[in-house]
Amino acid sequence: MSLLSAVADFLKPPPPPNPLVQRALDRVAEMVDPLLKVEPGFEKHLAGPVEHALGYCDGLVAALPGPIDINRKAFASDPLVHALFATADDIDQMLGRSQAVRDFLAEPCSWEHDHFYAMFAARRQQKKQLGMEQQGEVIRNDVPQTVLFFSGQTLIEPSCQLETTLQELRCKAFQSLLYTFHAHVEALRQERSGLRTDVSLERAHLTVLRGQADGREYEVGTRHLAELDSQLRNNAEALMPAHLISALADYLRAPEPALHLTPVSITVDRLGVIRDEISDDFSTHTLNFPELTARDRRLHLAMLARISRDEALEAVEMVRDQQHRFMLI
């Protein structure tokens, strides 16, 4: 009886994935290839890796620091916010020009709270310059310096509730993983198209060469065609649904190379000049923040931010007025 029970348990179909994993599986088929969903074993082979990737995205979002206040007061008092913007006016420009902020403020729910939350992102940059530097009682000119600054400041997924922003960021993180794999699949498809063209051209070339007195060129062309045919077969095999599912499962089990946070620590003075160590006169500060590496391989500082709704409204109106006056000139 126990043997029969064991056999019955073995033959029993696995329980359906939880709703969150099921929605993620639907998203996988939608973004990678709809034919994957009809492939036998689609859920069986991908449910576990998808659940692992979702957990990884949860941990990634949970590791974001903040939320920190981003406003003029913080620009004056918080060394990190001061480093993120060249001037306090740039904070208003970021808020006023952000389409995500404009769309959020147009929604009735934006009036539920005095503040809203979002993920702040910016690209870290460095530039070389010649500046002044005091060494003891001597001030030296034309001293080579490296200056830290940031560009492309933006706000992502603004919401009145921090948990809503976090949930949207988790979804975006998982989608970023799928976009990266989708790009890999598209590259295989483009390679297949190119190989098909190359095979057709080589066959046409061999047809012209066939029967000519010098057979060496024909022999070389034949070997080249065989190589192209082999590459095309390997490519076609990699694009088979079963192989795509296997490759995607391996990818989702180890998503770190495609999406990860790297801690960064830089010591700068009030002017953004990078220093080797903190000085005794409190004129330098060590900035600690994570940088996010995603599918485009570019690094972005990433953290959670809290923004005043009224300040954002004023910034949007200010930028709108500036744009209107520019159009009238």
What is the Cα 139 distance to its own chain's centre?
44
Q: Does residue 6 surpass a pLDDT of 60? A: no
Contact 199, 225 (CB under 8 A): yes
| Boundaries of every domain in the chain | 17-329
Q: Work out the mean pLDDT of the chain and round it to a whole number.
A: 88
Task: Return the pLDDT at 84.
Answer: 96
The token pair at 308 is 């005043």
Calculate mean pLDDT across residues 214-236: 86
pTM (predicted TM-score): 0.84
Residue 96's closest CA among 150, 154, 149?
A: 154
Q: Does residue 279 surpass a pLDDT of 70? A: no
Contact 259, 297 (CB under 8 A): no
Q: Name the 3-class secondary structure at 64.
A: coil
Contact 274, 148 (CB under 8 A): yes
Angle between helices 241-253 and 162-209 (to 10 degrees): 140
> DSSP string spanning 246-314?
HHHHHHHHS-TTTSEEEEEEEEEETT-BEESS--TTS-EEEEEEEEEE-TT--EEEEEEEEEEHHHHHH
Calculate mean pLDDT across residues 143-162: 93
The token pair at 266 is 């830089």
Cα gap 146→154, rounded to integer Å: 24
pLDDT confidence tier of residue 207, bands split at 50, 70 and 90: confident
Cα gap 36→49, rounded to integer Å: 15
Handedness of CA 251, 51, 46, 30 (dihedral sign): negative
Q: Does residue 94 surpass a pLDDT of 80? A: yes
**Beta-sheet pairing, 68-69 with 115-135:** unpaired
The token pair at 15 is 């329980």
Beta carbons within 10 angstroms of residue 88's beta carbon? 15
